[in-house]
Structure 1
Amino acid sequence: MSVEVLRAAVSAPTTTVLSLDIFDTVVLRDGTTQAFRFVEAATLAARRLGVDPGPLTELRLVSHDNAYRAIQMERPGADARFASLCRAVTAPLGLGAHGAAVLAECELEADIARLKPNPAALALISDARAKARRVIAVSDTWYSADDIARLLDAVVGEQPFDAIYTSADLGTSKQGGGMFDRVAVLEGCPPGEFLHVGDTLEADQVNAAAAGWNAAHLPRSHWYTLQRVWWKLRTIPLQLKAIL
């Protein structure tokens, strides 16, 4: 959907709440893979903690996959929590709570360095504010709302939302479909008054529409897709090293 059509939808009298995905919608990644960013963050954390980066990096990669396999059995459709993920990495190395805090700090720094604001999404937010619409963020992520707020302050220069909802905080996700119903209840607003915008077709458009929300797909460019393929190929050796 074009930005012009989206801006018209924001202005529609039936829209009272503008909802936006965070990653690759409000803030744009540079094409690096999740695994590559984990390696960057673990290397930085190891330097600050004065430990060998190898074990920390390998545990970050392996523990992440293990955590999500466990969650799919215990809480299908939910996300892991950031603090728990960091503790799972540092505890086997005897680094304790301090090590987990340092790793969390480094992961946020590594993520922030790989993000930039999306002018199109920020323009939608400005339009919504001008029309006195409520503006919220709805994101599938292991980050908490506080983590997202800090990230937005660093990348965008402000935290522009009235409320931030994350799958880690709510225990349900957009991908699983249950997050939209939960947010509608928390907002105290009928589903038909929401307009949700995001980059993922299934999670942000199909599942939002199935929950009765108005939804729009705002995908990344084909160039970005090619960048992602290149980074995935570059990251394969790092992932193989962690599991072998």
Structure 2
Amino acid sequence: MSVPALRRAIRRRRPRLVCIDCFDTLLLRGADHEEDRIRRLGAAAETALAAKGLEIPRGAFAATRIAASHAVYRSAARTGIEGRHAQMLTLQCLALGIDPVWATLLEKVEIEQESRDLRPNRPLADLLRECRRQGVPVVAVSDMYLSGDAIGRLLEAAGVADCVDRVYASSDHGTSKRQGDLFRLVLAAEGVPAGECLHAGDCRVADFEIPRSRGVAAVRIPRRLVGAIRALRRLSRRFQGVPAHA
């Protein structure tokens, strides 16, 4: 389905609340492998730290970021509590042998890098603005280690902050779309029954199957070409002996 399909669903269902996924839906990434994105981030972070008089070995940022991410995700899988960016950055600082106070700088560098990598889904943004003009609130709902405040800054940088009323991030609330409880939390906070909410996003499970299982109407907006390219790159890296997931 597509943005026109979402428009038709909104007209047909007349929801009291529209929920929208952020990454790869309202904010679009390229088809780069996650490892390539982390390498770019690493180069920017190493430059920023060097400017403050902190020299770290080339490539150390990327390696420690991958390790910290895996540690946080393993903890989340064990406890059921979503991981947070601050946890990753603190672990990374410790692994790099620098004071965790530098996590603030690393967060700033990452938001700036994300702002460069992301672009807005303009047709979708226009539709969401139209919803808001007609009095239908729109909230962004994201399974992401970044905080809602950080996601808001990315929306602002992309020129689409005016498309949403609020941002709900899994990292802020300790639960996720994929678990289903983030939808329950959003509905309670917004005071809207499940049957009067419409959600849209790119992920088959988190943005389509799970909300429907909770009584929320859902429209999937997949990025098939980008998904195919990413799958081919993962396969290529696997054959080359490079880890498929960063």
Normalised by the length of structure 1, the TM-score is 0.89
- 1:35-87 residue CA offsets vs partner (Å, 9 max, x unmatched): 22222212211122122233222111111112111111112xx4211111111
Q: 2:75 aligns with which of 70, 77, 82?
A: 70
Aligned counterparts of 2:241 and 2:112: Cα–Cα separation in 1: 20
What secondary structure is seen at the aligned counterpart in 2 of 1:95? coil
Residue type at the aligned position of 1:116: R
> 1:174 Cα shift?
0.9
The more displaced of 22-31 and 8-17 is 8-17
Cα separation, 2, equivalents of 1:239 and 1:57: 14
Contact 1:7 1:127 in 2 (8 A): no
The match for 2:22 is 22
Q: CA deviation at 1:11?
A: 3.2
Q: CA RMSD in A?
A: 2.3
Higher deviation after alignment, 104-113 or 165-174: 104-113
CA distance in 2, matches of 1:56, 1:238: 21
Counterparts of 1:109-124 in structure 2, within 5 Å, are 109-124=112-127
How much does 1:235 deviate? Answer: 6.0
Q: CA deviation at 1:234?
A: 6.8
1:184 to 176, 182, 187: 187
Identical counterparts, % of pairs: 30
**What is the match of residue 65 of structure 2?**
60
Letter in 2 for 1:39: R
SS of 1:196 mapped into structure 2: strand
1:11 corresponding residue in structure 2: 11
CA distance, structure 1, for counterparts of residue 235 and residue 16 of structure 2: 43
Partner of 1:140: 143
Q: In the TM superposition, what is the alpha-carbon distance from 1:226 to its structure 2 partner?
A: 3.1
Query: Which deviates further from its counterpart, 146-155 or 26-35?
Result: 26-35
Per-residue displacement from partner, 1:172-207 (whole Å, max 9, x unpaired)? 111122211111111111111111000011110110
Whether the aligned pair in 2 keeps the contact of 1:56 and 1:90 (CA below 8 Å) is no
SS at match of 1:197: strand
Q: How far 1:233 moved relative to its partner?
A: 5.4
Tell me: CA distance 1:137–1:167, structure 2 relative to 1, closer, same or farther (3 Å).
Answer: same
| Letter of the 1:226 counterpart | A
Q: Give, as a single letter, the amino acid of the residue that structure 1 aligns with 2:138.
A: V
CA shift, 1:142, in A, is 0.3
Match status 1:95 vs 2:110: no
Any idea what SS the aligned residue of 1:53 has?
Answer: coil
Query: 1:125 Cα deviation (Å)?
Result: 0.3
Q: Which residue of 2 aligns with 1:228?
A: 230
**Amino acid of the structure 1 residue aligned with 2:71:** N
- Structure 1, gaps ≥5 residues long: none
